[in-house]
Amino acid sequence: MSGSFFKHNHDPKIVGSYDLEETLGRGHFAIVKLARHIFTGEKVAVKVIDKLKLDAVSKAHLFQEVKCMKLVQHPNVVRLYEVIDTQTKLYLILELGDGGDMYDYIMKHENGLDDDIARTYFRQIVEAISYCHKRRVVHRDLKPENVIFFKKQGVVKLTDFGFSNRFMPGEKLETSCGSLAYSAPEILLGDSYDAPAVGKIIIQYTVLVVKKKEEKKMKRKERQKEKERKKERKREGRALRDLH
């Protein structure tokens, strides 16, 4: 891990070769900030972890996250560029996505995605997971929120390896972790297995898209009924005027 230099204040604005800017997100022990490389201007995401708030379990997860991210270098995995360690903070310099996460993407696209585009994204997710497993790394927290879009590159990438771990063929990981709604039964029972989470991501995408289409269809029907009711009221009004 490399050293760092700071401006002389409580919350440094410069870390290593990066100028920290606005906050992109917050967690229990960390915040994610937008940053720019001082010399190249390249934008990155910096995960700032307060080591003073970490208990033994959290420290172990953090160690595994860094170790696993260094092992996985794949076009569909968010890159860890650099780790900067200080007495109180740990800074993870990460590749910055430009299209939000898959959950938000699904929610914003009421008409769904073209089937070919959807297949392309899911193939990329599976390829990333397959690569991780070949490197004997299991993610253990697969969900739409941990799939990031990179519009300029035209790809999606896995991120947040906070629950990741190494495994050996034939051995089981016994820790129960991850997001319950997406956890594989094998993980809850102490095994290492990601495939059900992939299936649940696909199901969520499909269900949300179908639900949104049905809601839109119902709204169109309701608008059409309202138009017909207005026309009927106008006809009734004209009929009453004709009687007088």
pLDDT tens digits for range 30-55: 899 999 999 999 999 999 999 988 88
Domains of the chain, each with CATH number or no CATH = 14-94 (3.30.200.20), 102-207 (1.10.510.10)
59 marked ligand binding residue: no
For residues 227, 232, 237, 241, the Cα torsion angle rounded to the nearest 10 degrees is 130
Residue from 156, 88, 172 nearest 124 by CA:
156
pLDDT tens digits along 51-103: 988 888 888 888 888 999 999 999 999 999 999 999 999 999 999 999 888 88
d(CA 121, CA 106): 12
Q: What is the pLDDT of residue 42?
A: 95
Residue 116 identity (one-letter amino acid): D
Q: What is the pLDDT of residues 186-233, one digit of tens each?
A: 655 655 554 444 555 555 555 555 555 556 667 777 777 777 777 777
What is the mean predicted confidence (pLDDT) over 9-14?
Answer: 69
Distance of alpha carbon 44 from alpha carbon 76, whole angstroms: 17
Q: What is the mean pLDDT of the chain?
A: 78
Q: How confident is the model at residue 6 (pLDDT cuts 50, 70, 90)?
A: very low
- Residue 145 CA to residue 104 CA, distance in Å, equals 8
Query: Which pTM value belongs to this model?
Result: 0.70
Higher local confidence (pLDDT), 7 or 177: 177
**Local confidence band at 111 (pLDDT 50, 70, 90 cut-offs):** low
Residues belonging to the active site:
141
Identify the pLDDT of residue 5: 38
Q: H or E segment at 26?
A: strand 18-26
In terms of Cα–Cα distance, which of 104, 140, 148 is closest to 124? 148
More confident residue, 150 or 107: 150
